[in-house]
């Protein structure tokens, strides 16, 4: 199976490492020609996960996305949600015919308030039968260090998800499959919002006792939201374990880990940074910022009870002071 990777950031680089460590040659689209030249010369991505080295003979590198798509059977899309449409909109409408797509995007596309599969269906007539998601808990930095991690591959047909997942199984990475392809994507969106909130709480000098109660309530709120979308996303088999790693595990690691850019971003907000100042300081995309607005829009139709996520939206987008917002959140917790 010929894999193509779309994206040049830390998560794309980690996925490229996993595939090439398994002996696969990959086609890799990176927007910046200078980065491509440096990878060819130095054998690592100079900007992200620079400790991960590659065999150049396994890489076809190009800044022409159509060329990479054409050469690949399975496309792993690993670009921040805010930039996905800009990259994919240059493709011909029939570019994805006969392909399989694995989404490694951890957010809603903010320009259209859609999940990636919804955008691909509308713009490329792409079937969800050929669409899969890959989600954590799995920090790119720990993949680079080859610390044991787990990835969940979701597709509406688990057998097909397994066929793809086995290419990613290594000594340092175990793979799991499930059928909840829509639910896991929304879980990834929500956990970034809650992790950003965990960072705000830390910046406001709340302690571990509060944070544990906060995260437990976030897990409950996430389950409420995911159950509200079940009639749309999982009609045939509603039995889902929301304590599984792709739901609860990913929430926990994103809220607690120092690798979490959402937690780091939130910590800055809690310490008094403006959103703009925090974005400039972080110099990477914190998906939870845009995600908070996207989930608010999505929930206008669902009316799920998600007061924590809504309050974090108010802090980020409506200038609600962080301390005042967390006083509100204190009243929601049990």
Give the residue numbers marked as catalytic: 191
Cis (ω within 30 of 0) for the bond into 137?
Answer: yes
Those residues with Cβ within 8 angstroms of residue 322's Cβ, 6 or more apart along the chain or in another chain? 200, 203, 204, 269, 270, 272, 315
Residues 309, 218: Cα–Cα separation, whole Å? 8
Q: How far is CA 163 from CA 154, 166, 177, 180, in A?
A: 11, 6, 10, 16
Residues 187, 226: Cα–Cα separation, whole Å? 7
Residues 193, 302: Cα–Cα separation, whole Å? 18
What angle (nearest 5°) sits at the alpha carbon of residue 321, between those of residues 317 and 325?
A: 90
Strand partners, 133: 103, 154
Q: How far is CA 278 from CA 82, 191, 273, 282, in A?
A: 17, 19, 6, 6
- State the DSSP code for 44: B
């Amino acid at each position: 199976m010929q894999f193509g990777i779309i994206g040049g950031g830390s998560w794309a680089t980690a996925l490229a490492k996993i595939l090439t460590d398994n002996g696969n040659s990959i086609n890799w689209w990176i927007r910046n020609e200078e980065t491509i030249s440096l990878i060819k010369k130095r054998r690592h991505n100079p900007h992200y996960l620079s400790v991960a080295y590659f065999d150049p003979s396994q890489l076809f590198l190009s800044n022409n996305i159509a060329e990479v798509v054409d050469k690949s059977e399975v496309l792993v899309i690993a670009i921040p949600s805010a930039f996905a449409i800009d990259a994919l909109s240059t493709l011909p409408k029939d570019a994805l015919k006969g392909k399989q797509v694995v989404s490694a995007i951890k957010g809603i596309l903010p320009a259209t308030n859609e999940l990636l599969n919804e955008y691909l269906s509308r713009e490329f007539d792409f079937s969800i039968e050929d669409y899969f998601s890959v989600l954590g808990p799995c920090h790119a930095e720990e993949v680079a260090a080859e610390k044991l991690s787990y990835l969940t591959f979701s597709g509406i047909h688990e057998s097909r998800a397994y066929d793809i997942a086995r290419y990613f199984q290594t000594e340092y990475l175990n793979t799991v499959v499930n059928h909840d392809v829509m639910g896991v994507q929304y879980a990834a969106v929500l956990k970034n919002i809650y992790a950003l909130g965990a960072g705000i709480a830390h910046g406001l000098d709340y302690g571990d006792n509060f944070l544990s109660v906060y995260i437990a309530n976030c897990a409950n709120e996430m389950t409420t939201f995911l159950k509200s979308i079940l009639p749309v996303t999982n009609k045939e088999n509603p039995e889902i374990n929301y304590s599984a790693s792709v739901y609860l595990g990913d929430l926990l690691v994103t809220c607690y880990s120092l690798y979490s850019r959402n937690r780091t971003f939130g910590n800055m907000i809690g310490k008094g940074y403006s959103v703009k100042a925090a974005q400039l300081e972080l110099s990477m995309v914190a998906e939870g910022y845009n995600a908070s607005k996207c989930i608010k829009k999505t929930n206008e139709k669902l009316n799920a009870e998600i007061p924590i996520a809504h309050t974090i939206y108010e802090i980020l987008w409506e200038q609600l002071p962080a301390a005042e917002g967390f006083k509100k959140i204190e009243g929601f917790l049990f």
